[in-house]
Amino acid sequence: DENNDENNNDDDEGSVDIARRDLIYNSIGVGLIGASGVSAYSLFKTNVYTPSGFQRLPRTQFIAALGNPDASEGTQTEEGKWGLWVEDPGPRGVWLRDYKKDIVQSSSEQYRAPAGWKFDPQNWWLEEHGLIMEAPQFPLVEGKYLVTGGRLVTTTLTIDKGGNWKLDEGTLYDVTHLPCRSARYQPAAGDDKDNDGSPLTANPKDFPVAPGAIMPSVQGCCKLDYAVLFVVGKA
Protein backbone atom coordinates (compact mmCIF):
# COMPACT_ATOMS: atom_id res chain seq x y z
CA ASP A 1 0.00 0.00 0.00
CA GLU A 2 2.86 2.34 0.85
CA ASN A 3 4.34 1.61 -2.58
CA ASN A 4 1.00 2.38 -4.17
CA ASP A 5 0.80 5.66 -2.25
CA GLU A 6 4.30 6.60 -3.39
CA ASN A 7 3.42 5.76 -6.98
CA ASN A 8 0.24 7.80 -6.70
CA ASN A 9 2.21 10.73 -5.29
CA ASP A 10 4.73 10.43 -8.12
CA ASP A 11 1.89 10.38 -10.64
CA ASP A 12 0.32 13.44 -9.03
CA GLU A 13 3.62 15.31 -9.07
CA GLY A 14 4.16 14.27 -12.68
CA SER A 15 0.71 15.52 -13.61
CA VAL A 16 1.39 18.83 -11.89
CA ASP A 17 4.73 19.17 -13.68
CA ILE A 18 3.13 18.41 -17.05
CA ALA A 19 0.31 20.85 -16.38
CA ARG A 20 2.79 23.53 -15.31
CA ARG A 21 4.94 22.91 -18.38
CA ASP A 22 1.90 23.06 -20.69
CA LEU A 23 0.81 26.29 -19.05
CA ILE A 24 4.24 27.82 -19.64
CA TYR A 25 4.37 26.64 -23.25
CA ASN A 26 0.84 27.87 -23.91
CA SER A 27 1.61 31.23 -22.34
CA ILE A 28 4.71 31.59 -24.49
CA GLY A 29 2.73 30.56 -27.54
CA VAL A 30 0.02 33.11 -26.88
CA GLY A 31 2.66 35.78 -26.38
CA LEU A 32 4.37 34.91 -29.63
CA ILE A 33 1.09 34.85 -31.52
CA GLY A 34 0.16 38.22 -30.06
CA ALA A 35 3.57 39.72 -30.84
CA SER A 36 3.59 38.40 -34.38
CA GLY A 37 -0.05 39.07 -35.19
CA VAL A 38 0.61 42.26 -37.13
CA SER A 39 3.52 40.67 -38.99
CA ALA A 40 1.46 37.59 -39.80
CA TYR A 41 -1.38 39.74 -41.11
CA SER A 42 1.08 41.75 -43.20
CA LEU A 43 2.60 38.55 -44.57
CA PHE A 44 -0.87 37.27 -45.41
CA LYS A 45 -1.80 40.46 -47.25
CA THR A 46 1.50 40.52 -49.15
CA ASN A 47 1.64 36.86 -50.15
CA VAL A 48 -1.96 35.62 -50.17
CA TYR A 49 -4.48 38.47 -50.18
CA THR A 50 -5.88 39.21 -53.65
CA PRO A 51 -8.89 41.56 -53.91
CA SER A 52 -11.80 40.72 -56.16
CA GLY A 53 -11.08 41.63 -59.77
CA PHE A 54 -7.32 41.23 -59.42
CA GLN A 55 -5.11 38.50 -60.79
CA ARG A 56 -2.01 37.50 -58.88
CA LEU A 57 1.22 37.84 -60.90
CA PRO A 58 3.41 34.73 -61.23
CA ARG A 59 6.48 36.94 -60.71
CA THR A 60 6.78 40.20 -58.84
CA GLN A 61 7.13 43.31 -60.98
CA PHE A 62 8.56 46.64 -59.83
CA ILE A 63 7.33 50.21 -60.17
CA ALA A 64 9.73 53.16 -60.18
CA ALA A 65 7.72 55.97 -58.58
CA LEU A 66 8.28 59.68 -58.00
CA GLY A 67 6.17 61.63 -55.55
CA ASN A 68 5.70 62.98 -52.06
CA PRO A 69 6.25 59.98 -49.75
CA ASP A 70 3.52 61.27 -47.42
CA ALA A 71 0.93 61.56 -50.20
CA SER A 72 -1.79 59.07 -51.11
CA GLU A 73 -2.40 60.56 -54.55
CA GLY A 74 -0.75 62.87 -57.00
CA THR A 75 0.04 63.75 -60.60
CA GLN A 76 3.00 62.55 -62.62
CA THR A 77 5.00 65.31 -64.30
CA GLU A 78 6.69 65.09 -67.70
CA GLU A 79 10.07 64.88 -65.97
CA GLY A 80 8.79 62.49 -63.34
CA LYS A 81 6.85 59.78 -65.14
CA TRP A 82 6.51 56.45 -63.36
CA GLY A 83 7.96 53.33 -64.95
CA LEU A 84 7.75 49.56 -64.65
CA TRP A 85 10.32 46.78 -64.53
CA VAL A 86 8.59 43.56 -65.55
CA GLU A 87 11.71 41.66 -64.49
CA ASP A 88 13.90 42.20 -61.44
CA PRO A 89 16.62 44.54 -62.81
CA GLY A 90 19.14 43.67 -60.09
CA PRO A 91 20.32 40.26 -61.36
CA ARG A 92 20.50 41.72 -64.88
CA GLY A 93 22.68 44.64 -63.79
CA VAL A 94 26.38 45.41 -64.21
CA TRP A 95 28.70 46.39 -61.37
CA LEU A 96 30.19 49.88 -61.57
CA ARG A 97 33.67 48.32 -61.65
CA ASP A 98 32.70 46.36 -64.78
CA TYR A 99 31.15 49.27 -66.68
CA LYS A 100 34.03 49.67 -69.13
CA LYS A 101 34.49 45.96 -69.75
CA ASP A 102 30.86 44.83 -69.91
CA ILE A 103 29.10 47.88 -71.35
CA VAL A 104 31.48 50.30 -73.11
CA GLN A 105 33.61 47.51 -74.60
CA SER A 106 30.80 44.97 -74.88
CA SER A 107 31.64 41.98 -77.08
CA SER A 108 28.24 42.10 -78.80
CA GLU A 109 27.63 45.84 -79.27
CA GLN A 110 28.78 49.02 -77.57
CA TYR A 111 26.53 49.90 -74.64
CA ARG A 112 24.88 46.48 -74.73
CA ALA A 113 24.89 44.79 -71.30
CA PRO A 114 25.56 41.04 -71.01
CA ALA A 115 21.88 40.50 -70.11
CA GLY A 116 20.89 42.07 -73.44
CA TRP A 117 19.55 45.47 -72.39
CA LYS A 118 20.81 48.71 -73.92
CA PHE A 119 22.66 51.28 -71.79
CA ASP A 120 21.86 54.94 -72.47
CA PRO A 121 24.81 57.19 -71.48
CA GLN A 122 22.42 60.16 -71.34
CA ASN A 123 19.92 58.47 -69.04
CA TRP A 124 21.23 55.68 -66.83
CA TRP A 125 20.20 53.99 -63.61
CA LEU A 126 21.84 52.71 -60.43
CA GLU A 127 20.50 50.55 -57.61
CA GLU A 128 21.48 50.40 -53.95
CA HIS A 129 24.40 47.97 -54.29
CA GLY A 130 26.18 49.90 -57.03
CA LEU A 131 24.74 47.95 -59.94
CA ILE A 132 24.00 49.74 -63.21
CA MET A 133 20.44 48.81 -64.14
CA GLU A 134 18.36 48.81 -67.26
CA ALA A 135 15.78 51.59 -67.35
CA PRO A 136 12.18 50.71 -66.53
CA GLN A 137 9.52 50.84 -69.22
CA PHE A 138 7.94 54.30 -69.47
CA PRO A 139 5.26 55.35 -68.93
CA LEU A 140 3.42 53.20 -66.41
CA VAL A 141 0.20 52.45 -68.29
CA GLU A 142 -3.21 53.26 -66.85
CA GLY A 143 -4.85 50.57 -64.78
CA LYS A 144 -5.06 49.11 -61.31
CA TYR A 145 -2.05 47.52 -59.62
CA LEU A 146 -1.86 45.61 -56.35
CA VAL A 147 1.23 47.10 -54.70
CA THR A 148 3.17 46.63 -51.48
CA GLY A 149 6.40 47.60 -49.81
CA GLY A 150 6.59 44.22 -48.10
CA ARG A 151 5.72 45.79 -44.75
CA LEU A 152 2.24 46.59 -43.40
CA VAL A 153 0.30 47.87 -46.41
CA THR A 154 -0.81 46.00 -49.53
CA THR A 155 -3.30 48.06 -51.52
CA THR A 156 -4.61 49.15 -54.90
CA LEU A 157 -2.73 51.73 -56.94
CA THR A 158 -4.82 53.35 -59.67
CA ILE A 159 -3.21 55.12 -62.63
CA ASP A 160 -5.71 57.07 -64.75
CA LYS A 161 -5.53 58.25 -68.36
CA GLY A 162 -4.09 61.59 -67.31
CA GLY A 163 -1.23 59.96 -65.42
CA ASN A 164 -2.71 60.74 -62.01
CA TRP A 165 -2.09 58.13 -59.32
CA LYS A 166 -4.04 57.19 -56.21
CA LEU A 167 -3.65 54.63 -53.42
CA ASP A 168 -6.73 53.11 -51.79
CA GLU A 169 -4.88 52.82 -48.48
CA GLY A 170 -1.75 54.32 -46.94
CA THR A 171 0.87 56.62 -48.43
CA LEU A 172 3.56 56.25 -51.06
CA TYR A 173 6.03 55.65 -48.24
CA ASP A 174 3.87 52.82 -46.87
CA VAL A 175 4.10 50.88 -50.14
CA THR A 176 7.77 51.64 -50.79
CA HIS A 177 10.17 48.73 -50.38
CA LEU A 178 12.80 50.57 -48.35
CA PRO A 179 15.80 48.25 -48.98
CA CYS A 180 15.43 48.78 -52.75
CA ARG A 181 16.88 52.14 -53.76
CA SER A 182 17.11 53.43 -57.31
CA ALA A 183 18.03 56.63 -59.09
CA ARG A 184 18.20 57.96 -62.63
CA TYR A 185 21.30 59.91 -63.65
CA GLN A 186 21.47 62.34 -66.57
CA PRO A 187 24.72 64.13 -67.51
CA ALA A 188 24.47 67.88 -66.97
CA ALA A 189 24.53 69.91 -70.19
CA GLY A 190 27.75 71.77 -70.95
CA ASP A 191 29.99 69.68 -68.69
CA ASP A 192 32.85 68.48 -70.89
CA LYS A 193 35.24 67.10 -68.26
CA ASP A 194 36.50 63.60 -68.95
CA ASN A 195 34.12 60.93 -67.65
CA ASP A 196 31.92 63.43 -65.81
CA GLY A 197 28.33 62.31 -65.92
CA SER A 198 29.16 58.67 -66.60
CA PRO A 199 29.32 55.63 -64.29
CA LEU A 200 33.11 56.06 -64.32
CA THR A 201 32.62 59.11 -62.09
CA ALA A 202 30.51 57.26 -59.52
CA ASN A 203 32.28 56.28 -56.31
CA PRO A 204 31.91 52.55 -55.49
CA LYS A 205 32.61 53.39 -51.84
CA ASP A 206 29.20 55.12 -51.69
CA PHE A 207 27.57 51.68 -51.85
CA PRO A 208 25.66 49.85 -50.52
CA VAL A 209 23.03 52.43 -49.66
CA ALA A 210 21.14 52.02 -46.37
CA PRO A 211 17.42 51.13 -46.55
CA GLY A 212 15.37 54.29 -46.99
CA ALA A 213 18.40 56.51 -47.67
CA ILE A 214 18.81 58.66 -50.76
CA MET A 215 21.07 57.49 -53.57
CA PRO A 216 24.51 59.12 -53.85
CA SER A 217 25.19 61.97 -56.24
CA VAL A 218 27.49 61.47 -59.22
CA GLN A 219 29.69 64.36 -60.35
CA GLY A 220 28.43 65.94 -63.56
CA CYS A 221 24.96 64.40 -63.26
CA CYS A 222 21.46 65.48 -62.40
CA LYS A 223 19.82 62.82 -60.22
CA LEU A 224 16.27 61.72 -59.52
CA ASP A 225 15.59 59.32 -56.65
CA TYR A 226 12.77 56.85 -57.26
CA ALA A 227 10.78 54.81 -54.76
CA VAL A 228 10.45 51.13 -55.62
CA LEU A 229 7.03 49.46 -55.24
CA PHE A 230 6.42 45.73 -55.56
CA VAL A 231 3.59 44.82 -57.94
CA VAL A 232 2.02 41.50 -56.92
CA GLY A 233 -1.23 41.69 -58.90
CA LYS A 234 -3.09 43.50 -61.68
CA ALA A 235 -6.77 44.09 -62.38
pLDDT digits (tens, 9 = 90+) for 101-132: 999 998 888 999 999 999 999 999 999 999 99
Asked if residue 121 and residue 78 are part of one domain, the reply reads yes
- Flag whether the pTM goes above 0.85: no
The boundaries of the domain holding residue 128 are 55-234
Asked if residue 59 and residue 42 are part of one domain, the reply reads no
Domain end point (choices 12, 27, 48) = 48
Asked if residue 194 and residue 175 are part of one domain, the reply reads yes
CB 228 within 8 A of CB 63: yes
CB 82 within 8 A of CB 139: yes
Asked if residue 158 and residue 77 are part of one domain, the reply reads yes
Could you tell me how many helices (H) and strands (E) the chain has, helices first? Answer: 2, 11
* Residue 134 dihedral angles phi and psi, to the nearest 5°: -70, 150
Asked if residue 67 and residue 6 are part of one domain, the reply reads no
Strand partners, 10: none
Domain count, the chain: 2
Buried b (16+ CB within 10 A) or exposed e, 119-129: beeeebbbbbe
CB 212 within 8 A of CB 227: no
Average pLDDT, the chain: 84
* pLDDT (0 to 100) of residue 48: 64
Q: For residue range 182-234, list pLDDT tens digits in order.
A: 999 999 875 555 567 999 999 999 999 999 999 999 999 999 999 999 999 99
Q: What distance in Å separates the CA atoms of residue 5 and residue 102, rounded to the nearest whole number?
A: 84
* pLDDT (0 to 100) of residue 77: 83
Asked if residue 33 and residue 67 are part of one domain, the reply reads no
Q: Which H/E stretch holds residue 156?
A: strand 154-159
Asked if residue 33 and residue 77 are part of one domain, the reply reads no
